Amino acid sequence: MKMGAPGPSQAQEASRAEARGPGGLGGDPAGAPGAPATPARAATPTPELGLRGGGSGARPAGGSGESFCFPPARGPPAPPRRGAPVWGALQAPPAAPPRPLRGPGRDHRRPFIRRRSRGAQGRDRSRPPRRREQKPIQFAWPPSTRPWSPGLSPALPSLLCEPWLPAWPTAMATMVAQKLSHLLPTLRQAHQEPQPSGQPEPVFTVDRAEVPPLFWKPYIYVGYRPLHQTWRFYFRTLFQQHNEAVNVWTHLLAALVLLLRLAVFAGTVDFWGDPHALPLFIIVLASFTYLSLSALAHLLQAKSEFWHYSFFFLDYVGVAVYQFGSALAHFYYAIEPAWHAQVQTIFLPTAAFLAWLSCTGSCYSKYSQKPGLLGRTCQEVPSALAYALDISPVVHRILVSPDPTADDPALLYHKCQVVFFLLAAAFFSAFVPERWFPGSCHVFGQGHQLFHVFLVLCTLAQLEAVALDYEARRPIYEPLHARWPHNFSGLFLLTVGSSVLTAFLLSQLVRRKLDRKTQ
């Protein structure tokens, strides 16, 4: 083909274009005939076209598409037409429709691409990016370990899964809610319905019909403690309500007061160096003995019939010891010289014998269980005789006092102790006020309780009077007891030993009696 020769015909150009296919490389964009085909090359984005590389097809910049690529050429590429520009051969594919902002076509995994639009006046207006909705955090909990129980409020899981909460605090709060949902109903159930234990709750009191007649009290029908329980059970009844509680606490508190009083005496009195201080120590010791044994007897006597007898026998031993201690203190500190001259040889031996007789009569009355006047006589007559001898020095001193209105506080305490003892004896013997109100004094208001109260007041007043006489009447009692100040120690030990032996022998008789009863 020569220079200046006419180009190929239109039929030849049409066949070449058909061979290249539509959109092929090197095609004439204007459709001019004779345009030569150019070889295929990578497309470079240009500002004129506004195209972005990558993807499956070409889309205009700013659209909702992300990438494009040229379609592959079909057939052999046509040689480029002489004089045709290379870039003019690029042909932009048709623009694809934009994807919807919402709906199934919206890709939530890619960030929002700002879309620019033009207003009515032709100026650019930027639309702020729409904040996408964040799905709540979901946890793959097994069915048995759900983070909330059915009893929990259904609003709580939605609150815990708000989008503004981070992941790990939300999981921690969910676990805490799970624990609380299981714990709170358990605590509520335990508060409303206590869990049954292996052992039933102990019954601290029973009616009169559920205990043997040995434990019955006149006009008292309830408040008795059951028999054959553990020792721990009866010690626990110290803090329970029953018909012996007041009897226990009155003498128990008085015993503690006596210990404090003894501590005060130990700071002011020389018990070891002063031979005239020994009767004061004996009276304090005797008072503490009878108060503590009485409290122990009333607390533990409901263990069984044998222990009922045994503990009250010990109670009577304490009463005998206190009787001799009172007689010794009155004889040593409160006696007047005239009365001392008449009874000095027989007073202490007789007091020891009457104390033992009082213990024996009380033990025998408890052992025989004889109703009526005979049983009361065996207990009360020896005690009345012992008290009459023991208080005689005080009564003589009150009667022969030259000036009853003189400033003698010890004498006033002696008068008080006499009055308190007489009141105690009256309540002990008459069974009042429960006799007047039968069935109404089960816990409080029994005559024996009032007997305990007045006997404690008598003991405290007696100790104060003896302490004052020990300090103020030393010039009187030192000459009277200068010859044999220690003979009373042997009598005191003899009284204690004989009373304990008597109680032990009677307890053995009780054991044999109960054994015959059970056979």
Q: Which helix (H) or strand (E) holds 126?
A: strand 124-126
Write the CA distances from 203 to 16, 224, 236, 241, integer angstroms. Answer: 117, 10, 12, 11
The C-alpha atoms of residue 85 and residue 142 are separated, in whole angstroms, by: 69
Identify which of 369, 363, 401, 399 has the alpha carbon closest to the alpha carbon of residue 383: 363
Identify which of 197, 215, 219, 196 has the alpha carbon closest to the alpha carbon of residue 206: 215
Angle 358-362-368 from CA coordinates, rounded to 5°? 140
The C-alpha atoms of residue 140 and residue 168 are separated, in whole angstroms, by: 14
Per-residue DSSP letters for 363-416?
Answer: HHHHHH---SHHHHHHHHHHHHHHHHHHHHHHHHHHHH-S-TTSS-HHHHHHHH
Per-residue DSSP letters for 237-270?
Answer: GGGS-STTHHHHHHHHHHHHHHHHHHHHHHHH--
Check the annotation: does 448 bind a ligand. yes
What sign does the dihedral 266-271-276-282 (CA atoms) show?
positive
Q: At what angle do helices 347-368 and 487-518 cross, to 10 degrees?
A: 10
SS3 60: strand
SS3 112: coil
Other residues' Cβ atoms within 10 Å of the Cβ of residue 205: 18
Amino acid at site 4: G
Amino acid at site 471: E
SS3 438: coil
SS3 222: strand
For the chain, report the end-to-end CA distance as a whole number of angstroms.
153
The C-alpha atoms of residue 251 and residue 118 are separated, in whole angstroms, by: 106
The residue with tokens 């058909």 is: 18
Amino acid at site 269: V
Distance of CA 511 to the CA centre of its chain: 44
Both tokens of 414, joined, read 């002696």
Check the annotation: does 108 bind a ligand. no
Check the annotation: does 442 bind a ligand. no
SS3 107: coil
Residue list for the binding site: 298, 448, 452
Q: Which residues are annotated binding-site positions for Zn(2+)?
A: 298, 448, 452
